[in-house]
Amino acid sequence: MTQGAAVVILLVEADAAHAESVRRDLAAFRVANQLIHVKDGQAALDYLLREGDYADLEPVGRPDLVLLDLRLPKVDGFEVLRRIRETESLKGLPVVILTTSAVELDLARAYDRAANSYLVKPVDFDKFTQLLEAFGFYWLVWNQSPNATGGQRQ
């Protein structure tokens, strides 16, 4: 991701209110050009691997970054992260954990599976907005990371 480049974020979030907050805040900060939301871990894997409902996805659909909750229906966030890191075409994809869990074991487990960052959602709405603003500026404006697909979005 480079400054000024179009950014595609895959948000994997089961809670509709949290997803709407992320969408609204990132749009307000103008740091995300496209936010794709899926509600469970299986849908995230299907999207990333172009399986199931996403089998006919156009090549431009690959995200630049994944915002991943841990507590998800069908397939949990740890398994999604494991599968991303084991898939050659995805292993360099930045994955930021965005979760309500402040449990040390979850944090350690996420980093053991090569999460790029671990953010705990504050209960306070204003602090959640501040967290998303900081996330947006760091990950989408200032951070320089290699393209997950070797220089070409697939």
pLDDT in tens, 9-42: 999 999 999 999 999 888 887 765 788 999 999 9
Report d(CA 122, CA 146) in Å as an integer.
Answer: 29
Q: Are 12 and 68 a contacting pair, CB within 8 Å?
A: yes
97 DSSP β-pair partners: 68, 118
pTM of this structure: 0.86
Domains in the chain (CATH in brackets) are 7-140 (3.40.50.2300)
Q: Give the count of beta carbons closer than 10 Å to the beta carbon of residue 151.
A: 7
